[in-house]
Chains A and B, each alone.
Chain A
């Protein structure tokens, strides 16, 4: 089986990885999230480079395990998951498809370039975050720290629904 797997093109491996969901937000895949940085064969070993979203994100270990399981399902015997820190993950790497899936799931996708800047003293004007329920831009940040490290808590002033915002990072 190893010979067969070895013939598998890197493009096919990427398509397999599109089936590996984020454990916290299962509608979006690890590829959509932009955390798979590289797929390469080194001899008979398939090396997948993954970058963490947040340093302490508890999902990181689960993601590595799920990637490994998916590849084993396709009969790849030797898998190596390499963790890379630099360049650091940014929400700009979330794919267009991923953003749409987040929105459909009720999580406002990140507004590019609206990352926090050092200290409230130097806070930039924030681009409006759209409510994923009614589309209004009349929204308010309740807390920059939400239900997971990657999300902030928001409230819509129009439809009054609370929602998660996948914060720009």
Chain B
């Protein structure tokens, strides 16, 4: 296995964490309850911490002398390899929670498999991350169930969020040639196996939440190839503005 595929895996994992962490950070000071504000900020912090590990590995493996910060702040839209789900706008609080739930339910089994990766660098990061993501999944599942099976208004908002976001879930477990190569060499799991776990978990939780999975939805994909949705450029613009307008600025 060449390091190129490992580099790509580290970028994909890191970009997912970075972009979701960036979106969540925007809630800091605006969430509907103090406890929720703190939880969202803490989860964002965990994800940005995990980004540091993944993009640090990606930077170590790149031929040019780059750092994790370079990768986060100086790449353009087409170079980001995150899934489309995490770049969807926050919307209302219900939409943010649904996005988190759909992602956590995928993130957890992926990390669970990566802990057993034949590549120790990957396994180490996964071992650290999964402990944090366990808490993320517990929380997002709990809240999706409580709000889905809550008032008529909360149910309506959660169903609306599910309808809006469902089309971005297929891509999470849709393998490309890099995924196949990684699975063959025991570095990353077979995404077919992850799909089974993801689907089962979502179905059970959403049933309990009294929410209906949209039927016959056309799935959208492109994130792993750097093809992103319209809002992504704005997200990067906000995230990168300081480094773009003051190159090399330090804390």
Which of B2-10, B92-100, B138-146, B148-156 lies at the binding interface?
A: B138-146
How would you classify the secondary structure of chain B's contact residues: helix, strand, loop or mixed? helix
Determine which of B38, B128, B139, B145 lies in contact with A147 in the assembled complex, contact meaning CB atoms within 8 Å: B38
A145 touches B124 (CB 8 A): no
**Which residues in chain B, 22-68, are within 8 Å of chain A measured between CB atoms?**
35-36, 38-39, 42-43, 45-50, 52-53
Q: How far is the CB of A60 from chain B (nearest CB, A)?
A: 8
Interface string of A39-52 (1 = CB under 8 A from B): 00000000000001
Whether the Cβ atoms of B42 and A149 lie closer than 8 Å is yes
User: Is B131 part of the binding interface, using a Cβ–Cβ cutoff of 8 Å?
Assistant: yes
The smallest C-beta distance from B44 to any residue of chain A, in angstroms, reads 8
Of B38, B39, B50, B124, the residue contacting A86 (CB under 8 A) is B124
Q: Are A145 and B135 in contact (CB under 8 A)?
A: yes
Number of CB contacts from chain A to chain B under 8 A: 96
Counting CB contacts under 8 A, is A15 at the interface? no
List of B residues within 8 angstroms of A145 by Cβ: 35, 38-39, 42-43, 135, 139
- Which parts of B87-133 form the interface with A (CB within 8 Å)? 105, 108, 120, 123-125, 127-129, 131-132
- Chain A residues with CB below 8 A from B128, complex form: 52, 55, 85-86, 88
What residues on B are CB-neighbors of A90 within 8 Å? 131
Q: A19 CB to closest chain B CB, in angstroms?
A: 27
Q: How far is the CB of A160 from chain B (nearest CB, A)?
A: 17
* Interface presence of B174 (CB below 8 A): no
* Complex partner residue of A142 from B35, B48, B52, CB under 8 angstroms: B35
Flag if B38 contacts A54 (CB, 8 Å): no
In the assembled complex, B232 has its CB within 8 A of some CB on chain A: no
A8 at the interface (CB under 8 A from B): no
A149 surroundings in chain B (CB, below 8 A): 42, 45-46, 132
Supposing A85-B128, A86-B128 touch, asked if A119 and B141 sit within 8 A by C-beta, the answer is yes
In the complex, the answer to whether B127 meets A87 with C-beta atoms within 8 Å is yes
Residue pair A54, B132 in contact (C-beta under 8 Å)? yes
Please tell me if the beta carbons of A57 and B49 are within 8 angstroms of each other in the complex. yes
Docked-complex contact B35 and A153, CB < 8 angstroms: yes
A11: Cβ under 8 A from any B Cβ: no
Give A90's nearest chain B residue, CB to CB: B131
Q: Give A88 to B42 CA distance when docked, in angstroms.
A: 19
| Distance, CA A27 to CA B162, complexed state (A) | 46
Contacts of B49 in A (CB 8 A): 52, 54-57
Q: List 6 A-B contacts (CB under 8 A).
A: A55-B49, A88-B127, A144-B139, A145-B38, A147-B38, A149-B42
A residues neighboring B (CB under 8 Å)? 52, 54-58, 85-88, 90, 115-121, 123, 142-147, 149, 153, 167, 169
